Structure 1
Amino acid sequence: MSPRPQINIPGCGSAAGIYAETQPSVAKFLNIPYATVPERWRPAVKASAWSGVRDASFQGPVCHQPKSENPLVSMTTDAVDEDDEEAYAKVYNEETCLNLNIFLPKEHLRTGSGKKPLIPVMVWIHGGGFKDGSNAMSLYDATNLVAYSINGVGRPVVVVTMNYRLNYFGFLSSPELVQDVQSDKRLSSNTSEKSVGNWGLLDQKVALEWVRDHISAFGGDPQDVTVFGESAGAASIGYHLAISAHHGLFQRAILQSGAATTMTAGRPEYEGQGYFNQLCRHFGLHTSDLTGAQKIERLRQIPAKDLVKAADNGKIGMFIPTIDSVLIKDDARGWVHDPARYDPGLKAVMLGDCRDEGRMFVTTLGAKSLKHWPRFLARNCPPGQEKEFEAIYGSPKTNAEAASISAIVLSDSVFLYPIHATSRALMETRDGGRNKYFLEIARFHFDHPLQIVEDMELGLGAHHAAELPFVFGSDTYLDLFTDAEKELCKSLMETWIRFAWGETSRQHGLQYGQDSLLPADVGVGGQKTEAITFTEQSTVEKRLVERLDARTLDFWRRSEQWQRTKRDERYRARQQQAKL
């Protein structure tokens, strides 16, 4: 039996990991703390150094989160008996959930003499609607991804998967919480410490800073970091790209099924207040004889495992970041189009979608039947634009048509248009007046429905998150793949790995062609077939970059402005009401 891998992390301490049983070329260091939570609804603080040798052979705790009854969208860890306090604390812990799992090639361990050159790093930010998810999920086991980077592609990478605070712990806001934070003299003024409702995003920043400061101990190059994420993880990246204080923490980015405006930040006085009030009602704290400070103090005393149950009781869907005038200062639907807001140090960005993104959300966000159609239409179509909407999407005559059309609308408005808008702005950073650096932009489409899901006859198609099993290729999912899907998995992993290595089409002088792997010139207005597409037939081909035609793009551009104006009007109305 070979000895366990052990390294010294300067400034942190020594850690002993394990070698992957199925892939002996891969070493794993689990539950590496990057920060701790000193108090609920306060910024995390960087983890202290430890003495002795830390046992990094087992999964660390994750953020408390509600349960999901849907096995296809469940982002929770394995079930644990809540009455078994010791077992429960090993899985969920509010104070120590901010940890990293690190996967790296055995040959790149920075021990002894003859150290190999530092290699690219890939940092994963999981999705889950800012409500659930963790690095403990078998879906995100990066063992096979790292092994394939070594043995399949010959481009070894280090992969880091992070936890961050979620739901009420990471994304709750309200005027009461704003006052609570602003009155805390322990927090530095004019810094992100005064941010409210964005603690999860700040956790991610601290995790990326830890990677910058310490990943070289694992053989990773801190100046060659690719951050990749899906859904809320991709939205998170969208915010990091535009928050100046977060610039410089990564050089490349892969946004899967999302951008900042996929999950547009709300305001404490409106969306945030609704969540806060729901929490207070759940625990009987909504009476008028309690001040805001008293409500917060009592909510802080509620055990985390009880607090998170309010999300189940209140049928809470997703959480969103907050426009707090500190970290996020204005509506993302405005600045997402501004090239000057994006990190000027970026080298490459790849953005993409799944073909049937919206189908999974019809029951919660769409029109399940004709009865629900008028409300769905009013929520998505600006007044006076109904004929234009119908010309693009049609008008449902049956319940099935209502569900089908609303799925397409959700795909276009929540995913495809935000990805387009972000791509367009990034292209302008490359081609516009700020052309002081080189930025490559790539696009992809994932059109392959998982065969095992197809066999269930759920009608989800290439649904939201369908690409995730192919990104990591973990053993759990490899056993469920068809032979063709196993090959598709290799193709997708290779694309992601080569992107992290900077092996783009331009660097190889390949303007077109399958061998370039990534699109060369993604002309938004043109019809160039340069988006890499993972097809329904498990092949990899070039397809149209933009799947929305000019008319549809123009409609959602106008709808976006309408939504922004409507929200601003509601916000001003709340402000006026508060003054009365």
Structure 2
Amino acid sequence: MSTAPQINIPNCGAVQGKQTETQPTVAKFLNIPYATVPERWRPAVKAAPWSGVRDATIQGPVCHQPSSENPLVSMNSSAVDEDDEVEYSKVYSEEHCLNLNIFAPHDGLNSKFKPLIPVMVWIHGGGYKDGSNGMSLYDATNMVALSVKGIGRPVIVVTINYRLNYFGFLSSAELVQDIQSDKRLSGKNGEKSVGNWGLLDQKIALEWVRDHIEAFGGNPKDVTVFGESAGAASIGYHLAIPTHHGLFQRAILQSGAATTMIAGRPDMEGQRYFNNLCQHFKLNESGLTGAQKLEQLKKIPAKDLVKAANNGKVGMFIPTIDNVLIRSDPRGWVHDSARYDPNVKAVMLGDCRDEGRMFVPTLGAKNLKRWPRFFARNCPPGLEKEFEAIYGIPKTDAEAASISAIVLSDSVFLYPIHATSRALLASQPQLEMSRFHFDHPLQVVEEMELGLGAHHAAELPFVFGSDAYQELFSDAEKELSLRVMEVWILFAWGETSRQHGLKHGQNSLLPSDVGVGGQRKEAVVFTEECTVEKKLVERLDARTLAFWRQSESWAKAKREEQNKQRQGQAKL
């Protein structure tokens, strides 16, 4: 018979969770508030303590968000409501969406682990536009159960919500002026940051873990943060923002780094999103000033505001270069080893084999008509022959789609991961560095005949092994999921190859350090055939890496020139 575990969290209050029926070794605590949003486009504040025993058995509110085209997201939503919002939760709330879920070993709650056990904090992806800790995809019950009874390395997994889309990552000149003129904000702890509220939410969540996870048997000094896509990019930013240092000791970046989601400028990229909102709500026709438009946008109900992100004119949201939290173009500092958190002991980074395929319709060239624009955006002047030698030039629509998918994989995922790996290794010679590649296409997605292969986020069902996917996995995929979870759990325990070698039979799973030059030829590869092998760390050869380094420098210089021109025009 299951019991209802109860925990008293010092300086917060008591919570009552539930012992999972399918995995009685695991206890769940859902909807624990770590912060609240006092008003739109302002920093969150830490949640106030509560009296009595809080029911922590029901999924909490999530951030309002538009529907997603990701097949994994659509498969994990129970429904889409009449307002076109994906139903991860029965409740959406702008004020109370900042909550976290905790999956912990049940027995450890009573006996209190001695010593305390490692903690893994999950930051979900979704292009900073959608996603939630309420997705069944991120149910960590089976992962924690495996850690306890499968490999004897218990972990606690915490999954967090943070503000998304217009609520977490909108910026504009009007918002900058609005924040700067708010005398209630001291300017400390990033309070006057603009367009990075989602990143600040994540920081508060990590601070909550630091301050309170010991009540659940977790070690606040042994935290692994892991995330995918926008979640991985977020970790890349946390690693480089000084005021965010010291909140975790290990990191796993899945399909992303800071330069995968390059921060934009309030008066350029951010302004386009702001102007789109004004156009959507017909505020441009009213003769209002910029400040008045902003005040009108603040009054629009959240469920109506988010609909503007479904109108086909908005893509992925991005952080903001606000001169507070993020002070310059990430392409300039991603290579600077001195910027990275010196407290981090180990980092694992990896990718999926066919990352770019999912993004061809929005970012690529799905036909020859769109190729010239795609080519001009991705090939610096003077490097046309080099581009052609590496990727070729398409002659058919199918070739245009295929080549642009490879280019997107290389430029958006593989090269940023490589650049971040090099900088991190240079920052700390003692840093444990691991790399992985995920090559297995999920069988149920292959049966949809979407042609996505081992697409972006394909590894997620295997990382968590939730019940929602156990029903969809083949027998071989079930075994592969166990191996993936095992690697992630052992990484959180610090059991990397350098330290443990042949221990626990993991010598064929955990890679050697890649080395600053990427010379070591070992990375853990989850193959198409559901085996786990060691293969090359870098899948981009030296010529391709050099090309994207030049392309990165060109794009950065192009932005700097735009900034100079704008500043010159402003003086006229």
Would the aligned equivalents of 2:512 and 2:520 in 1 still touch at CA under 8 Å?
A: no
Say whether 1:95 aligns with 2:95.
Answer: yes
Deviation at 1:8, TM superposition (A): 0.1
* Contiguous gaps of at least 5 residues in structure 1: 432-437
User: What amino acid does structure 2 have at the position aligned with 1:47?
Assistant: A
Aligned to 2:267, the other structure's residue is in SS state helix
Deviation at 1:357, TM superposition (A): 0.3
Match of 1:434? none
Deviation at 1:91, TM superposition (A): 1.9
Would the aligned equivalents of 2:120 and 2:156 in 1 still touch at CA under 8 Å?
A: yes
- 1:284-299 to structure 2, matched below 5 A, reads 284-287=282-285, 289-299=287-297
Match of 1:108? 108
Deviation at 1:314, TM superposition (A): 4.1
User: What amino acid does structure 1 have at the position aligned with 2:326?
Assistant: I
Match of 1:525? 517
Of all paired residues, the percent bearing the same amino acid is: 79
- 1:158-169 to structure 2, matched below 5 A, reads 158-169=156-167
Match of 2:250? 252
Would the aligned equivalents of 2:88 and 2:132 in 1 still touch at CA under 8 Å?
A: no
- 1:42-53 to structure 2, matched below 5 A, reads 42-53=42-53
User: What amino acid does structure 1 have at the position aligned with 2:548?
Assistant: W
Deviation at 1:578, TM superposition (A): 3.5
Match of 2:203? 205
Q: Distance in 2 between matches of 1:76 and 1:319?
A: 22
Say whether 1:542 aligns with 2:534.
Answer: yes
Q: Distance in 1 between matches of 2:397 and 2:206?
A: 46
Distance verdict in 2 for CA 1:156–1:388, change over 3 Å: same
Match of 1:226? 224
Q: Distance in 2 between matches of 1:525 and 1:252?
A: 22
Say whether 1:6 aligns with 2:26.
Answer: no
Deviation at 1:506, TM superposition (A): 1.3
The structure 2 residue matched to 1:557, chosen from 544, 549, 552, is 549
- 1:421-570 to structure 2, matched below 5 A, reads 421-431=419-429, 438-509=430-501, 515=507, 517-525=509-517, 527-570=519-562
Would the aligned equivalents of 2:112 and 2:217 in 1 still touch at CA under 8 Å?
A: no
Would the aligned equivalents of 2:59 and 2:89 in 1 still touch at CA under 8 Å?
A: no
* Contiguous gaps of at least 5 residues in structure 2: none
Deviation at 1:287, TM superposition (A): 4.0
Q: Distance in 1 between matches of 2:234 and 2:205?
A: 13
Distance verdict in 2 for CA 1:353–1:5, change over 3 Å: same
Aligned to 2:533, the other structure's residue is in SS state strand
CA RMSD of aligned residues (A): 2.0
Distance verdict in 2 for CA 1:60–1:190, change over 3 Å: closer
Would the aligned equivalents of 1:8 and 1:14 in 2 still touch at CA under 8 Å?
A: yes
Distance verdict in 2 for CA 1:203–1:47, change over 3 Å: same
Aligned to 2:315, the other structure's residue is in SS state coil
Return 280-289 or 395-404, whichever deviates more. Answer: 280-289
Would the aligned equivalents of 1:355 and 1:446 in 2 still touch at CA under 8 Å?
A: yes
Distance verdict in 2 for CA 1:88–1:257, change over 3 Å: closer
1:30-71 CA deviation, whole Å, 9 max, x = no partner? 000000000000000000000000000000000000113553
1:172-217 CA deviation, whole Å, 9 max, x = no partner? 0001000000000000135400000000000000000000000000
Deviation at 1:316, TM superposition (A): 1.3
1:77-127 CA deviation, whole Å, 9 max, x = no partner? 433545899x99942100000000000000110x4x675431000000000
User: What amino acid does structure 1 have at the position aligned with 2:15?
Assistant: A
Q: Distance in 2 between matches of 1:141 and 1:105?
A: 14
Deviation at 1:375, TM superposition (A): 0.4
Distance verdict in 2 for CA 1:76–1:172, change over 3 Å: farther
Aligned to 1:122, the other structure's residue is in SS state strand
Q: Distance in 2 between matches of 1:295 and 1:279?
A: 10
TM-score when normalising by structure 2: 0.96
Return 245-254 or 89-98, whichever deviates more. Answer: 89-98
Match of 1:367? 365
Would the aligned equivalents of 2:5 and 2:16 in 1 still touch at CA under 8 Å?
A: yes
Would the aligned equivalents of 1:270 and 1:571 in 2 still touch at CA under 8 Å?
A: no
Aligned to 2:8, the other structure's residue is in SS state strand
User: What amino acid does structure 2 have at the position aligned with 1:43?
Assistant: P
Distance verdict in 2 for CA 1:534–1:573, change over 3 Å: same
Q: Distance in 2 between matches of 1:76 and 1:281?
A: 32
Q: Distance in 1 between matches of 2:300 and 2:112?
A: 53
User: What amino acid does structure 2 have at the position aligned with 1:298?
Assistant: Q
Aligned to 1:78, the other structure's residue is in SS state coil
Distance verdict in 2 for CA 1:380–1:324, change over 3 Å: same
Would the aligned equivalents of 1:392 and 1:552 in 2 still touch at CA under 8 Å?
A: yes
Q: How many residues align?
A: 570
Q: Distance in 2 between matches of 1:222 and 1:374?
A: 51
Q: Distance in 1 between matches of 2:13 and 2:243?
A: 28
